[in-house]
Structure 1
């Protein structure tokens, strides 16, 4: 059986573009699946948004995470939040969050909103990282700004990223654009991201695919699982010399 080294269903091109799908080159990046964004009493809920649409993607991300773990692919998680002293939050950001009814740092049912160490800041139990899966704490939307993510990926030879999580129009979109500018080949999971409205989600995905994949490509979760599982069926050939304890 031949190696499976691309997700053929990705649009607008088969991904990765250089057919280099493997644990040595490809990582799963799960963006901000935190209680503050997915749970009642968290940051988004405190702003008046329904978290039900965000919760709907959890089973697909659980499936994706399980597949990548079984195949031995690198996995990274991110969390958005600030230190308790809030020195990383600008006056504009404080003002913006106040305008929308949930000032960052204010007290909520899950602790202070978007503050590190609080219950709301933690990743939901269904997707909780394993001890050797890096968690990137970021003070803003993009996962590359003021974090060690780029160095961590390049140190492991990663050049392809499968990106999922919330929200499609903010943290996911910002991270994808940052990754593209840094030369990563990015695939966004269409049914593994969500926004506060259908329109925002669709716009975010279309903005990624324009101009032949200006920022990356997209496809559904099941197609990514199928490609990784097919790769896994050939793991004896594909993983020659590969140490799954790479972290």
Structure 2
């Protein structure tokens, strides 16, 4: 019959269909995809610590090696740099061994280059690891190649291998060492010559140098007493 419309049938949605639909809608409203896997942060406490990297001896040619002594400024107070008793006592603990490494490097004729953090000056570098007359000092953020003459200094000395010590491990040591390796330098990192506010930062820096693509193949992890010139 013209103009006649059948009454609509009642639509029934079964629970087994409705529940997934509601879950999908809720996930969309919350900005999450349904069934999304947990992030590394969600499972942070369940991650096992990987095996420690192997430490190897490093026998180096003094003529083509430079020792980078990074950001030991912090003389007596935190405002003068990162190596101080208030924020990085672990840095102070490395100074005797680093001082011995510097002395051996100088005796062998190895180029020694120092740095300060952006808020430091050479006078703030801790006694025992301070620059000798004539040793260059660069000033920069975590990567000491950026905005400094470090590349030119190393080129003039013919340095192709860099021994890197300093603080913070996850700052100056990590960034400068990674940049150096990615630009073709061989990098030697004595793990007892790097420091941070806590052991975990030092641990993950050691893991990075042992495993990071493009970096690990050019890096030797070692101890200060296993470095020979």
TM-score above 0.5: yes
Pair 1:217–1:61, CA change in 2 (3 A): same
Aligned to 1:80: 117
3-state DSSP of counterpart to 1:35? coil
Determine the C-alpha separation between the residues in 1 that align with 2:154 and 2:92: 28
Runs of 4+ in structure 1 deviating by more than 2 angstroms, as ranges, are 10-16, 39-45, 47-51
Determine the C-alpha separation between the residues in 1 that align with 2:78 and 2:212: 40
Aligned to 1:22: 61
Aligned to 1:130: 132
Deviation at 1:15, TM superposition (A): 4.5
Aligned to 1:70: 107
3-state DSSP of counterpart to 1:127? coil
Determine the C-alpha separation between the residues in 2 that align with 1:64 and 1:167: 18
Return the structure number with greater relative CO, CA threshold 8 A, min gap 6: 1
Aligned to 1:54: 91
Unaligned runs of 5+ in 2: 1-52
Indicate conservation of the 8 Å contact 2:77/2:85, yes or no: no
Aligned length in residues: 174
> What root-mean-square deviation, in Å, do the aligned CA atoms of Structure 1 and Structure 2 show?
2.6
Aligned to 2:211: 210
Under a length normalisation based on structure 1, what TM-score does the superposition of the two structures give?
0.63
Determine the C-alpha separation between the residues in 1 that align with 2:104 and 2:167: 20
Deviation track 1:93-152 (CA, whole Å, cap 9, x = no partner) reads xxxxxxxxxxxxxxxxxxxxx1548x6xx21121111112111122x1101011111111
Under a length normalisation based on structure 2, what TM-score does the superposition of the two structures give?
0.68
Unaligned runs of 5+ in 1: 1-9, 82-113, 229-247
